Structure 1
Amino acid sequence: MQCLSLPSPACSRRYPVFVFTFMRRLNMPHPPFLPSVISSAVALGLVSIAPSLLADEIYTLETTTVAASSEQALLQESVASVSVIEEERLSQPGTTHLEEVVSQTPNVNLSAGASRGKYYQIRGIGERSQFTDTVNPSVAVVMDGIDMSAMTMGATLLDAKQVEVLRGPQGSLQGASAIGGLINVRANEPTDYVTGDLELTVAQYNTQNLSGAIGGPISDKVSYRFAAQRNSSDGFIKNDYLNRDDTNNIDETLLRTKFHIAASDNLDLDLSAFYANIDNGYDAFTLDQTRHTISDQPGHDRQETLALVGKSSWYGNRHFIQETALSISKSNLEYGYDVDWTNPDFQPVGAKNRTDNYSRDEKSATLDLRFISSEESRLFNDSTGWSGGLYYFYRNSDLIRDYTGEPVFTSEYETDRYAGYGELSTDLTDKLTWINGVRLEQDTTLYSDNTGEYSKPTEYLWGGRTALEYQTSDSQMLYGLIARGYKVGGYNANIKLPNELRKYDSETLWNFELGAKHRLLEDTLHTQLAVFVQQRDDAQVNATRTEQGVAFDYTDNANKAYSYGLEAQAQWQATHAVRLHASVGLLKTELKEPGASFDGRGAAHSPEYQFALGASFDHGKGWFSGLDIEGKDRFYFSDSYDSTTQAYALVNARFGYQQDNWSVTLWGKNLTDQDIIVRGFNFPNNPYTPTVAEDYVQFGAPRMFGITTKYSF
């Protein structure tokens, strides 16, 4: 990858060759649009090089810090494959939710099956839906210290400053809920001066988004930040039977307040509260694969969440810093839909008009006590820094399922997790650092339901990592790591399953990774490259079973699962007026279970390639523009059948004017109006062919235009 340091046409030609060579070795197909997309991006880069070579001044990139690590580290010095989406990209017009940005990062995917995409997969690991079963997440989603993994619809970009995506098992940081990785959302902090902004977006489909934030000092020791957001849209579905265009609507109200208190010279306090009230519609699937539904009882996707967070940082002991973080949250979740997607006029005589509804009461709490060494307490002749702590996690989830208006299933899930963790960072030489971390966790889970199932097992799990970091120069860092992650077992709530399939076991993952990070061209170009191999033992996968002519999914354990691939990322401040970013993820997965239908094939929601290209331009005199392209390969809907999506590339653009403290931006998304599949199933659902399994898909947003006005102070 040294080629990246040479701004020459030869270098620009070699990089696509490298990518295609890697794809050939993974037996990946070349999509017809990918060569042209990459060629266009290279041409764009060459055009932007010329003025940068003539410029007298170098415009370096800002330093980025990753907070979701054992200790805060600079992005280019973090020993892991990490993507950071900064505020400039998060605040682009028409962007309100986490689902709209994370898929732009390498080897990260998501699934919908609801009003929003709220199930995330990293390197082919992660859940895709939730019905009767309680989901133990494989990808942790944390927002300002709140574990949102079980209620990700509330993980919005309200006043967001930064989104961090950490790939691979994060057992040392997050334990059992981060075997696949961690997504960390950070909001803007209180300031000691008055600042704020107000933003209004109006777009097609009666879309209106209004958000605002204000912060500043209350006294010389207390500062605050308050933010609010209101999102509404009719959605892009037309219900022809009801003659309505708002059955798949968005209706979201979000509030956040934060306080920073300098309680004393040695004690800082940070307090935060978050509230979400979401009442979205859900009417997305049809029998004929269009955006025109005929359901008579459209569904809904609701969430009301209240969360409180407190953090203290104490500096009163010269040997260590002590941090305490406490969070509690309560959520009411309700998800329901029209089972047959049709109406009495369409159905055969005597057919039932069915609905399915899931109401969950979620409560959770976390407590983290952490100690971080000071310069005076380093070990082994001052060569080793250390950190460690104790962790507690509690979650309670009560479910009531109503089928066609009748309660048919109730369950209670409660888990208590206790963990101890620690990490040592040893300077072997001036340039070579050895990092070792471990986490020991005890999980006790109670599960009961109205079928008589009752269980309260206790599991003991461990994870951690060992890594070498080699700082070859001020501008280059190389690393290698071995990490182990884990995920607890669980329960299948479907009463049609035999007893031996009601439970499934915990799984473990080993991750082997090599990486390189560079700061090049006088710190105007930042690059990252990582290659990895992962092995999962007793991998939790989706299986399908048919009982009495009805097919249903459940969770089972596969013997092994493998994945390997590459992640490459780059940011380049080519000139003061041109900023470019690019990323590519290549992934190959395989499930292994002798005799199973999925034996030897790839994992679900695991596209073999993903890419993102973007450019921002300052045209002078207040005018600016931007272009972004993102795409991914096709992927399987599920582990249990072979239906797939189609490969695609999305083109988004914006053009605007900024003067003093205000700006106005015209923007368009999915300019080529592609039909993007965000969730798919294969089962019988047509009342006229009740035994024939067919593909059914949910589409993402079509082409959409809007205008955004923003005022900052």
Structure 2
Amino acid sequence: MIDLFRKMPLLAFTCLLSGVVLATEPEGPEGIVAGTETTIETLSAETIQEVVVTAQFRDVSVLDTGNSISILDSQQIERRQARHLDQLLNLVPNVNFSSGASRGKFIQIRGIGERSQFIEPLNPSVGLLIDGIDFSGIGGAATTLDLRQVEVLRGPQGTLYGANALAGLINMKSNNPSDVFEGHIETSIADYETRTTSAVLSGPIADNLGYRLAVQGHRSDGYIDNEFVNRKDTSNIDELTARGKLHWRVSDRLQLNFTGFYVDADNGYDAFSLDNTRKTLSDQPGHDRQESTAFAVESIWHATEQFDVVGLISYADSNLEYSYDEDWSFAAICEGLPCEGWEYSSFDRYQRSRYNGSMDLKLVSSEAGRLFNGASDWVLGIYYRRQNESLLREYTYADGDFTSDFDTRNRAVYGQLDTRLSDHLKLVSGARIEFRRADYLDSEGVRHNTSERLWGGRLALEYSLTPETLLYGLVSRGYKAGGVNSNPELDSGVRDFDTEYMWNLETGIKGDWLDRTLQVQLALFYQMRRDMQVKQSLVKPITGDLCPCSFIDMFDNASKGRNYGLELMFDWLAKEDVQVYGSLGLLRATYQDFESLSHVDADPENNVAVDLDGREQAHAPSYQFSLGVEVALTGQMSAALEMEGKQQFYLSPRHNARSNRYELFNARLEYRLQQWDFMLWGRNLTDRDVIVRGFGGFGNDPRNFYQTEPYYQYGEPRIVGATAKYRF
């Protein structure tokens, strides 16, 4: 049994301090806008459920908003037995992730997003919110305990979220307090000593006060055998998550929602093998750790008959460690071999402390407050965010420890008008002006200060062809702030990189057809990137003139980039007891007018600039898809089978190594008996090796005298498990 309560004193203190929880909300006071709440209206058993998007200024059906959005609900999360966001992302068209750690923590939407972080500060391209709390750039916190749904908004969210949402936004919403007392206990076992135990309690404290508490422990030995230290758990998973929410209806006009969140991930990291297998030789296995404590307070005040005042204050404090054995081997690997004397030994550790606090205050019009003779709903808001990140790097081949401090402050004013031009046509216009200041200082004496004024927004036309069919077209502009390259080995002339801007053109159709048994979303998009930020890694021999090599990370700007494609999602209730669902993403993402500074495949011993004009961008597969069917076999038993696939893609602009193309199969068999649920499930049933991170253009194996070759990290192999849940 997993020891869920080993940190309960800290959790209890967090709960008392912040009024904790994450949950299903009692209906608010009449007239109060639900702000960021999620509702799913259950229709007839013979129709598909309506899903509501909460990561907008108003709650709205996903089929009634002109934007490419995917919603993964609790049923889909349970169907896959996903414990982390990275186990869900393959269901979403044109969304990819990069690992290089214990989890797929770095996300790309339509080919745009970071793939790793080492010494440099990071400005994320994909925003990540967990119950309104900002975790952009540190996706290790994205566990799935008691989630209601995951919303993926593709394309720049310049009005909604600003600088950290150039590519899009992922909004994770947990369940809210229930009107009646309820809960469940769940436990599961699976291959590789995988164990998960969770518990949820929810209900009313008083007529105007509701709570929800949830806790989960998840452990696994991981999928690596370290043959040198004779251990099977050097890439283990050990994650504890606690969520809680308290909803207080203070009066008929005021609602207060308190949220608390805690995650402690004490995971191992020992992923790369000199032989490109799941068997490693590291004598110093690393770690991928994250401990985060966060809280948020949301207030919804029905100030007047014309508008509501919605405020959100959040804070998150995170401590992170990322470390690894750089040589992937042991000191005596060449003893008695021709390569004796060629080996090296190196360990690299990055310890970060990060906190961020934000305040978002907006006025949201009610029906009585509409402008222009009742034609226009409106939103007007102000936003403030401050984030500080300090780094300590301990590296074997450095003269001393490296430290840095990166402080950013964002202030923004934003607004949106939703104007009814006719019974069928609506114009959505929004804009955001953001003022950003960033201060950087490190132990090498490098000081960098920037101030920027950034702007973004969207202009969309939505046409209701019928009550069940929406056509839309939009133009949106997003931005990603410039920054500083912090590696002390870089020349001063390449310290800075510029702000990136992107124009997004999109059109689509959404429908709820065949008597509400078929829901379809289809979107076409074309994105023009200017001063595109591209991560580079200059190669430097550790000793002498030849590899083994270390990498000097830096960001550079390509003049342009082009990302365009198609996204299709559907959900079809083919029969009363048969549901078919799926997605398809097609993507073409290329560099324009760009020379890579370190394309070392051309010459492994030198950093050679190579023209990448027209080459595909990294982590941008040309297609990916998912297809599933769920069948009710009896009144108590159901079965589901899923297939997902992805085309190969470049792993970096620095080299030509690629991932592998793959198709995976997942299955689940569920039996329900009164309050009990029993599930047998499996992922990657054909046991395909899936590349989730890789390097090329350098050598790291002294046994072949550091000949250049690619190296890969593999994702989850076949895993089969069983789950039991008791509801009360």
User: Equivalent residue of 1:317, what SS?
Assistant: coil
- Is 1:361 the equivalent of 2:349? no
- Picking from 367, 378, 385, the partner of 2:370 is 378
- Is 1:76 the equivalent of 2:70? no
User: Which residue is 1:522 aligned to?
Assistant: 515
Contact kept? 2:490, 2:552, Cα under 8 Å: no
1:508-543 deviation digits (Å, cap 9, x = unpaired): 000000000011110011000000000100000122
The Cα shift of 1:595 comes to 4.2
User: Which residue is 1:31 aligned to?
Assistant: none
1:439-477 deviation digits (Å, cap 9, x = unpaired): 000000000111111011100000000000000101100
Partners of 2:539 and 2:279 in 1: how far apart? 30
- Picking from 401, 424, 427, the partner of 2:420 is 427
User: Which residue is 1:640 aligned to?
Assistant: 654
Contact kept? 1:93, 1:708, Cα under 8 Å: no
- Picking from 222, 226, 249, the partner of 1:239 is 226
Alignment of 1:480-499 (within 5 A): 480-499=473-492
User: Which residue is 1:198 aligned to?
Assistant: 185
Contact kept? 2:519, 2:572, Cα under 8 Å: yes
For the structure 1 residues 166 and 425, does the alpha-carbon distance in structure 2 shift closer, same or farther, using more than 3 Å as the test?
same
User: Equivalent residue of 1:88, what SS?
Assistant: helix
User: Which residue is 1:24 aligned to?
Assistant: none
Contact kept? 2:187, 2:725, Cα under 8 Å: yes
User: Equivalent residue of 1:172, what SS?
Assistant: coil
User: Which residue is 2:94 aligned to?
Assistant: 107
Partners of 1:642 and 1:538 in 2: how far apart? 23
- Picking from 609, 612, 615, the partner of 2:626 is 612
Alignment of 1:190-269 (within 5 A): 190-269=177-256
The Cα shift of 1:701 comes to 1.1
- Is 1:659 the equivalent of 2:691? no
User: Which residue is 1:562 aligned to?
Assistant: 562
User: Equivalent residue of 1:381, what SS?
Assistant: helix
Letter in 1 for 2:353: D
User: Which residue is 2:391 aligned to?
Assistant: 399
User: Which residue is 1:34 aligned to?
Assistant: none
1:298-339 deviation digits (Å, cap 9, x = unpaired): 010001100011000001311101100000010000010000
User: Which residue is 2:702 aligned to?
Assistant: 687
Partners of 2:268 and 2:463 in 1: how far apart? 51
User: Which residue is 1:33 aligned to?
Assistant: none
Contact kept? 2:637, 2:671, Cα under 8 Å: yes
Greater Cα offset, 468-477 or 547-556: 547-556
The Cα shift of 1:599 comes to 2.1
User: Which residue is 2:337 aligned to?
Assistant: none
The Cα shift of 1:385 comes to 0.9
Task: Find runs of 4+ consecutive structure 1 residues off by over 6 angstroms.
Answer: none
Letter in 2 for 1:499: S
Contact kept? 1:114, 1:301, Cα under 8 Å: yes
For the structure 1 residues 468 and 297, does the alpha-carbon distance in structure 2 shift closer, same or farther, using more than 3 Å as the test?
same
Partners of 2:724 and 2:706 in 1: how far apart? 52
- Is 1:144 the equivalent of 2:131? yes
Alignment of 1:407-556 (within 5 A): 407-547=400-540, 549=545, 550=549, 551-556=551-556
- Picking from 103, 113, 130, the partner of 2:117 is 130
Contact kept? 2:448, 2:484, Cα under 8 Å: no
Contact kept? 2:199, 2:215, Cα under 8 Å: yes
Contact kept? 1:94, 1:201, Cα under 8 Å: no
Partners of 1:236 and 1:691 in 2: how far apart? 26
- Is 1:584 the equivalent of 2:555? no
The Cα shift of 1:93 comes to 5.2
User: Equivalent residue of 1:497, what SS?
Assistant: coil
User: Equivalent residue of 1:174, what SS?
Assistant: coil
User: Equivalent residue of 2:460, what SS?
Assistant: strand
User: Which residue is 1:39 aligned to?
Assistant: none
Letter in 1 for 2:332: D
Partners of 2:658 and 2:595 in 1: how far apart? 22
For the structure 1 residues 222 and 694, does the alpha-carbon distance in structure 2 shift closer, same or farther, using more than 3 Å as the test?
same
The Cα shift of 1:668 comes to 1.2
Letter in 2 for 1:234: D
Give the total of aligned pairs. 657
- Is 1:674 the equivalent of 2:688? yes
Partners of 2:499 and 2:557 in 1: how far apart? 8
Instruction: List gaps (5 residues or longer) in structure 1.
Output: 1-56
Partners of 1:594 and 1:634 in 2: how far apart? 22
When normalised by structure 2's length, the TM-score is 0.89
User: Which residue is 1:3 aligned to?
Assistant: none
- Is 1:271 the equivalent of 2:258? yes
Letter in 2 for 1:353: S
The Cα shift of 1:97 comes to 0.4
The Cα shift of 1:92 comes to 2.4
Partners of 2:229 and 2:594 in 1: how far apart? 49
User: Which residue is 1:12 aligned to?
Assistant: none
For the structure 1 residues 383 and 620, does the alpha-carbon distance in structure 2 shift closer, same or farther, using more than 3 Å as the test?
same
Instruction: List gaps (5 residues or longer) in structure 2.
Output: 1-43, 335-339, 597-609
Letter in 2 for 1:630: E
The Cα shift of 1:199 comes to 1.0
Contact kept? 2:90, 2:626, Cα under 8 Å: no
Contact kept? 1:58, 1:522, Cα under 8 Å: no
Letter in 2 for 1:524: T
User: Equivalent residue of 1:572, what SS?
Assistant: strand
The Cα shift of 1:494 comes to 1.5
When normalised by structure 1's length, the TM-score is 0.91
The Cα shift of 1:422 comes to 0.1
User: Which residue is 1:157 aligned to?
Assistant: 144
Greater Cα offset, 344-353 or 297-306: 344-353
Partners of 1:97 and 1:379 in 2: how far apart? 43
The Cα shift of 1:576 comes to 2.5
The Cα shift of 1:690 comes to 5.6
Partners of 2:80 and 2:446 in 1: how far apart? 49
1:579-636 deviation digits (Å, cap 9, x = unpaired): 1101100000110125442222010000000100011111114121100111110000
User: Which residue is 1:86 aligned to?
Assistant: 73
For the structure 1 residues 480 and 452, does the alpha-carbon distance in structure 2 shift closer, same or farther, using more than 3 Å as the test?
same
- Is 1:300 the equivalent of 2:287? yes
The Cα shift of 1:552 comes to 3.5
The Cα shift of 1:684 comes to 2.4
The Cα shift of 1:546 comes to 3.5
For the structure 1 residues 546 and 294, does the alpha-carbon distance in structure 2 shift closer, same or farther, using more than 3 Å as the test?
closer
